[in-house]
Amino acid sequence: MILVTTPTGQIGSRVLDSLLDAGDAAGPIRVVVKDPERLSPRARGRVEVVTGSHADPDVAAKACAGADRVFWLVPPTPTAAGIEGHFRAFTRPLVEAVEDQGVERAVAVSTLGRGVAENAGQISASLAMDDVIRATGVHYRALCPPYLMENLLRQVASICGSGVISMATYGDRVLRTCTTRDVGATAARLLLDGSWTGQEDVPLVGSDELTPEDMAQVVSEVLDRPVRFQRISGAEHKATLLRYGASEAWAQGLADMAAAIAEQGFYGIAAPSTPESAPTSFRQWCEEVLKPAVLA
C-alpha cells in the first residue's frame, strides 16, 4: 500500500494524481488529510482516507499501518511557533512508523543545499529532517528541488498591478528553478517502483540558467506587458510576511532562507541541471500556469 500525505497540497496533489493515473499498477492508495472534502471526486472514489494531521502520532500510526511505501511532506505552516519544532513534529511520526510498523520505502520533499547551506531557516530544518529519517535505515529518497516556480503565483497581484516581481536576492545571479508538477511526477515514479534500495538525494533542477531579471523578462514576453525585477531587503521580506500573518519565527526563517540562497549559491549556476527529473522550462510554466492565473 502507498500512503500519500498532503494530498490536497501543491505537491501532494500532483503525487496523488500521478498515482491515480497509473491505475491498477499503483495498488491500494491511502491518504491522510485534514479536510477530506478538498479531495477531488475521483480521488474520493479510489483512495482510503484517514482524517487528521500526520503530525499527530495516533493519526500517523493509523495512516501508516500496512503501508510499505510513503510519500512524506512537511506542510508549510506560516503560523508555526518555531521552525525546528514544526519539522520535528512532522518527522517523528514517520520515524515511529518505520521503526514500529515496517514502512520499507519513504520519499520526502527536501531541498538542494546539503553540505553547503548554513543558518538557512526552513532549508536547514528540512536537511536536518533528512538526517533523522536516514538514521532509521529505511530505504529513502529525498527529493531536492531549488526555487519552486509556483512561488511566483503569490506575486500575481504585484505583476498585474505594478508589473513587478520582488525577491530578496540578487537580480543578476542565476536562480535555478523547478515546478511542483515535476516534483510530484518524480515522487510518484519512485512510489510505483518497489525495487530501489538505499538512501539517496534526487536533485530536481530545471535546464534554465535564468537570473531573476531574466525571469522577469520571460514573464514580460509571455504576458505581453512590462514586468521588471525588484530586489528587496531581508527586512522588507520579513515585514511583508509578518503583515500577512506569519509568526515571528516563520518570517525570520524565510528571511534567513532567502539570505542563504542569495549568498551561499546552492540554488545557483553551480547546481547541475537534471532535465530527466525536471523537464519543465520556466517559459513553459509561465505559459501554462502563470499566464492563466494572471488572466483570471
Indicate the CATH number for domain 2-145+180-203.
3.40.50.720
Q: State residue 253's pLDDT score.
A: 97
| pLDDT one digit per residue (tens) for the chain, 296 residues | 999 999 999 999 999 999 999 999 999 999 999 999 999 999 988 999 999 999 999 999 999 999 999 999 999 999 999 999 999 999 999 999 888 888 999 999 999 999 999 999 999 999 999 999 999 999 999 999 999 999 999 999 999 999 999 999 999 999 999 999 999 999 999 999 989 999 999 999 999 999 999 999 999 999 999 999 999 999 999 999 999 999 999 999 999 999 999 999 999 999 999 999 999 999 999 999 999 999 98
Q: State residue 239's pLDDT score.
A: 97
Q: State residue 45's pLDDT score.
A: 85
In the numeric block, which cell numbers belong to residue 218?
520571460
Predicted confidence (pLDDT) per residue in 155-192, tens digit:
999 999 999 999 999 999 999 999 999 999 999 999 99
Q: Where are the domains of the chain?
A: 2-145+180-203
Q: State residue 107's pLDDT score.
A: 98
Residue with cell 500521478: 18
C-alpha to C-alpha distance for 41 and 34, rounded to whole angstroms: 16
Tell me if 18 sits within 8 A of 84, measured CB to CB: no
Tell me if 249 sits within 8 A of 82, measured CB to CB: yes
Q: State residue 102's pLDDT score.
A: 85
C-alpha to C-alpha distance for 151 and 159, rounded to whole angstroms: 13
DSSP for 178-239? E-HHHHHHHHHHHHH-----SEEEEE---S----HHHHHHHHHHHHTS--EEEE--HHHHHH
